[in-house]
Amino acid sequence: MFANITALPTLDTLSLPDLALQELNIHLRGQLIRRGDADYDQARQLWNGAVDKRPALIVRSQTAQDVALAVTFARNHNLPVSVRAGGHNAAGLALVDDGLVIDLSRMKRIQIDPARRVARAEPGLTIGEFTRALEPYGLLTPTGTCSGTGIGGMTLGGGIGWLTGRFGLAVDNVLSFEVVTAEGRLLKASAEENADLFWGLRGGGGNFGVVTAIEYQLHPMGQVLGGTILYPLSLDVLRAYFDFTSAAPDEVIAYAALATIPNAGPAVAITVCYSGDDLAAGEQALAPLRQFGSPIVDMIRPMNYTELITSLDPTAPDGRHYADTAYSLKQPGDDALKAMLACAEQKSSPFSVIVIHHINGAGTRVAPDATAFALREPHYSIVNAAAWEEGPAEPHLAWAQESLARMQPFASQGLYVNFMGQEGEAAIREAYRANYERLVALKRKYDPTNFFRMNQNIKPGGK
């Protein structure tokens, strides 16, 4: 007669981890999400819909204290840890199978001091949320180029984008970080406090702790002259793009996407930002870009920065399946451009795209050892972004890999860590060049057990 009554668990039927979990839950301001919880599947979704990892726990933190609790819990229970901010790392490093995810996506507070031109921002803000908050003050700071990316991962890896030529990388504009270390301690890292850690966090990714707030130097900024101009895909247009960008002033950054455009076919979509104060001078600076041939469409006009970064969102929507390979290139000759053109012509999906990121100006005049980010020469960072919505992954993975192999003879040494996937240790060492040994020493000091390893990992042993 009692068959339908489910026995309530008593204290002695609970396992120790359950008790510990209850205790963690009590102390958290944020949310503890376990497998089977209603929010679990939504909480493990990333920008890349091809990633299907199943963490044991997700701690949706609200405060630095929550982060410290999660770090301590994971240490005490030997759980592997990952850190998630905007969830845009294409390889899915934000999640860890069977481990604990420190999810910062709800930490979105921002304080702006217009007089000092400083913003303190939490890492769960997306770039779009961040710039939308700054724009009413007529202030901005360098960010990546798409609105959905998190400021957390973007900044810690370096942060290249529309303002790199004028104001440097995102890391060149960071004044301080607040960071929870592998011991669960909250530290400040700035030029004055823990200066070694401050150096390492400016490009060293998530290797040294969980960053819970970032203070940025802001710059006065009105409208930019920006937008996309489309040309039919051709060698001449590619050549003209590289000639234009290699001679561009600091105020001009132009990215090119070798893409398939609905109703237009294979195209080079050049998105540009002129960030100088004088938009009439900007029109002149961008004039050559309008003379590469007959554009399919020209959408370049004065606009707000946030409008520019959101204009690219539809090209890489959340939840589509992605697989990236990437490489760096100095000024390419015709052989390299012909090879790149062939890669574009052989795409396995109309959603796939080759994105050429242009790095110049102020971002390349910072000494390579001034911050952990070492790739300080003018160059291009190129991503073969395979994208598809259904069917098997194999043809798309093959295209991304084959495109990389085809371009490898022309590639220059050292790839931006934020565009890396599973390249491994040799590539990480190359990315940091002469800074690598200093980063290893820093890792030994701040994370000797390699607790934070779901990243472009710098091992404390150096191997």
Ligand X SMILES: Cc1cc2nc3c(=O)[nH]c(=O)nc-3n(C[C@H](O)[C@H](O)[C@H](O)COP(=O)(O)OP(=O)(O)OC[C@H]3O[C@@H](n4cnc5c(N)ncnc54)[C@H](O)[C@@H]3O)c2cc1C
Which positions touch ligand X (CB under 6 A)?
47, 82-90, 93-94, 104, 123, 144-146, 149-150, 152-154, 156-161, 205-206, 210-211, 316, 418, 454-455
Cβ 24 to ligand X, closest distance in Å?
20
Residue nearest to ligand X (CB): 153
CB of 69 to ligand X, least distance (A): 16
146/174 with CB nearer ligand X: 146
Q: Looking at beta carbons only, is 136 or 314 nearer to ligand X?
A: 314
Nearer to ligand X, 205 or 276 (CB): 205
Nearer to ligand X, 250 or 295 (CB): 250
For residue 94, give both structure tokens.
Answer: 């934000």
Query: Which residue number, 88 or 429, has a Cβ lying nearer to ligand X?
Result: 88
- Separation CA 440–CA 140 (nearest Å): 33
Query: Which of 415-445 are b and which e, b meaning 16 or more Cβ less than 10 Å from the residue's Cβ?
Result: bbbbbbbebeeebbbbbbeebbebbbebbee
CB of 390 to ligand X, least distance (A): 20
Here the tokens at position 225 are 């002259």
**Nearer to ligand X by C-beta: 234 or 260?**
260
CB of 237 to ligand X, least distance (A): 22
Q: How far is the CB of 245 from ligand X (least distance, A)?
A: 15
Nearest-approach distance from CB 202 to ligand X, in angstroms? 13
* Minimum distance from residue 335 beta carbon to ligand X (Å): 27
- Residue of 298, 307, 256, 302 whose CA lies nearest to 276: 302
Between 268 and 375, name the residue whose CB sits nearer to ligand X.
375
Which CB atom, from 295 or from 453, has the smaller least distance to ligand X? 453
Closest approach of Cβ 208 to ligand X, in Å? 8
